Amino acid sequence: MNQELEQSCKYEIKTKTEEYSGVFVKQDEKFLYIKLKSGYNIGISQNKVTTIKKLEDKKIEKPKQESKITASKNLPKITILHTGGTIASKVDYSTGAVIAQFTEKDILNLFPELTAIANIDSKLVRNMQSEMMRFAHYNLLAKAIKEEADKGADGIIITQGTDMLHYTSAAMSFILENLGIPVLVVGSQRSSDRPSSDAAINLVSAVNFIANADFSGVGVCMHDTDNDTTTQILPGCKIRKMHTSRRDAFKPINSKPIAQINTTKNEIKFISDYSKKNKNKKIILKLFKEDLKIGIIKPHISMFAEEILTYKSFDGVILELLGIGHMPTMKVDEYTDENIKIYKAIKTLCKKMPVGIAPTTIYGRLNLNVYSPGKQLLDAGVIGNYTDMTPETAFIKLAWLISNYKKEEIKELFEKNLRGEISERIEDEN
């Protein structure tokens, strides 16, 4: 059956063995795609369809809007700053697609239990997927955080998409100097109106943590495992998204979680040392230059010098190094002449800009003094030996340093632990 269907309309579709109901998304020669009530798309083979019925008499139900919610003045004050992403996504009933379109009031209506824990103020900064963000958005967030802290907020929550969440937590860690309250970045791997969503537990855990713990600093609140029994507060500069869709996608790198939250008992267990709240502190903002060009270069087999020189007009670059600190920079036989050119290209960049380094292995620490390729890179002028920053944190830190410090200060500060981004000791380090 190959019947033309109307975009955004709801249909009942039957095959010999199954019956489906959902919003029409698209069709091709082989399949017909609809959006189910759960929010997931399904493709139905055209040649298996027996009947298609347009549900003209059935309106597509939208989520109900609750009445205005108020909280007790005796509860702590927490501001939620929304930037969009999966945690703020739902089914768009005009197209059947999932988009980031919740307003700040929709979030409170969806999770009314938040107002039993704290006096919630909810504000929309942007409504966008996290990969669309730029340095300018980090500055907007930082200014909004300072404004709320100056007004007496006991803590701040940033809701954001997970793909770039660890960039944002690192960025807030560096921008917000003299921070005396908690700032937690919270995301969701599955949209808020799906039965399997992790949005509610992550957000409620973050509010509970701010309301009941004396922690200050930047952290991330996400699932601890793929079930709903525990969440974690993770250090802002020492995490990475390690899975495309699991709810426990975020893991601490070369470090431990700050705390674990038992979601059934609402119990907080601290795992690492932490700074304590001090609302008398006044936040100092050290913002990003919004037009900075920072690159990340990842090594691979059969590299060419042109790849390196692509960044010669940038302000800074992060080299992801192999092992404990290597790049293909040495001629070893008749097929490796290009490696000499790669080394010269790296030297060229080092003369033009700060070239920071980070391990492409993610875990472990760099030591460029062990093997000849590493020593070559040190001679070329790269910075970051003996560090264990993730590439993403190194990227953010280099951009922040270039934005706020003189050229001669950057090398020393890049290799210095400023916000917990460099581990003094790694548990499994030999």
Catalogue the active-site residues.
86, 162-163, 241
Long-range pairs of 297-305 with CB within 8 A, sequence gap ≥ 24:
298/360, 299/326, 299/327, 299/328, 299/360, 303/328, 303/338, 303/342, 304/338, 304/341, 304/342, 305/338, 305/341, 305/342, 305/344, 305/345
d(CA 423, CA 387): 8
- What is the residue-wise DSSP string for 341-373? HHHHHHHHHHHHS-EEEEETTSSS---TTSSHH
CB 318 within 8 A of CB 356: yes
